[in-house]
Amino acid sequence: MARFVITGTGTDIGKTVLAAGLCGLIGADYWKPVQTGLAHDLPNPVAGGRRQGLSPMDGSRAYLPVAGTDSAEVEHLSGQPVHPEAYLLREPLSPHRAAELNGVEIDPADLTPPDADRLVVEGAGGVLVPVTRDILFADLFAQWQIPVILVATTGLGTISH
Longest dimension (CA), the chain: 45
Compute the distance between CA of residue 70 and CA of residue 89 in angstroms, rounded to an integer. Answer: 13
At residue 82's C-alpha, the angle toward residues 46 and 135, to 5°, is 65
Q: State the catalytic residue, choosing from 15, 32, 50, 96.
A: 32
At residue 100's C-alpha, the angle toward residues 37 and 42, to 5°, is 35
| Amino acid (1-letter code) at residue 10 | G
> Number of C-alpha atoms within 13 angstroms, CB side, residue 28?
26
User: Is residue 32 flagged as an active site residue?
Assistant: yes
Catalytic residue ranges: 32
